[in-house]
């Protein structure tokens, strides 16, 4: 843990202006979430920046949440005031949106392709059942059946 530096509000505002307007995440040259001591309180820079952006102190029980899910980021554009609960809910929501099934690249030989067609058209198996049997994704089965 590095030393916590004292920072004045004026210095924070200067830094804020420097960080503002970037589209990308902005980081300070620190290995952890930037913390500062301001007016005798230990505070994260994200919180300071958010209070500058809002023009007021954060409400009690609220935290500076990151739209970008990057706690070290200090880009004011990426910060919003939320409850701790919202913070985790928001992260989960985004996690879900970002979730994509991993592609399972797997080649099937012509014998297997014939078998897939047979199972589907003759046996009446569902695509998901066939996909499971061949350990491939259902979209691949779908593609094979279109051919
Ligand atoms: Zn960011």
Instruction: Determine the Cα–Cα distance for residues 105 and 35; give it in Å rounded to an integer.
Output: 45
* pLDDT > 90: percent of the chain: 36
Q: Give residue 56's pLDDT.
A: 94
Contact 113, 144 (CB under 8 A): yes
Residue whose C-alpha is closest to residue 88's, from 60, 65, 62: 65
Average pLDDT over all residues of the chain = 83
Kindly indicate the confidence band of residue 120, based on its pLDDT and cuts at 50, 70 and 90: very high
Q: Give residue 1's pLDDT.
A: 39
User: Is 145 in a helix, a strand, or coil?
Assistant: helix
Q: pLDDT of 19-66, one tens digit each? A: 998 889 998 877 677 888 887 888 889 999 999 999 999 988 888 999
Quote the ligand 1 centre to 121 CA distance (angstroms). 51
Q: Give residue 51's pLDDT.
A: 94
Q: Give residue 134's pLDDT.
A: 87
Quote the ligand 1 centre to 50 CA distance (angstroms). 13
CA distance readout (Å), 96 to 38, 76, 85, 100, 142: 37, 24, 17, 8, 25
Quote the ligand 1 centre to 48 CA distance (angstroms). 15
Quote the ligand 1 centre to 27 CA distance (angstroms). 8
Quote the ligand 1 centre to 71 CA distance (angstroms). 8
The pTM for the full model equals 0.56
Q: pLDDT of 128-139, one tens digit each? A: 999 999 888 888
Give the strand order in the sheet containing 5-6: 5-6, 35-38, 41-44
Quote the ligand 1 centre to 22 CA distance (angstroms). 9
């Amino acid at each position: 843990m590095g030393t916590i530096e004292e920072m004045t509000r004026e210095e924070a505002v200067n830094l804020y202006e420097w960080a503002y307007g970037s589209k990308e995440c902005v980081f300070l040259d620190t290995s952890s979430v930037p913390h500062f001591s301001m007016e005798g309180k230990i505070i994260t820079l994200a919180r300071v920046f958010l209070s500058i952006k809002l023009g007021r102190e954060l409400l009690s029980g609220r935290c500076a949440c990151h739209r970008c899910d990057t706690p070290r980021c200090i880009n004011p554009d990426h910060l919003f005031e939320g409850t701790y609960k919202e913070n985790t809910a928001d992260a989960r929501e985004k996690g879900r949106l970002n979730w994509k099934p991993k592609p399972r690249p797997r080649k099937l030989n012509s014998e297997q392709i014939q078998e897939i067609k047979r199972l589907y058209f003759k046996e009446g198996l569902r695509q998901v059942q066939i996909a499971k049997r061949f350990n491939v994704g259902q979209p691949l089965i779908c593609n094979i059946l279109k051919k």
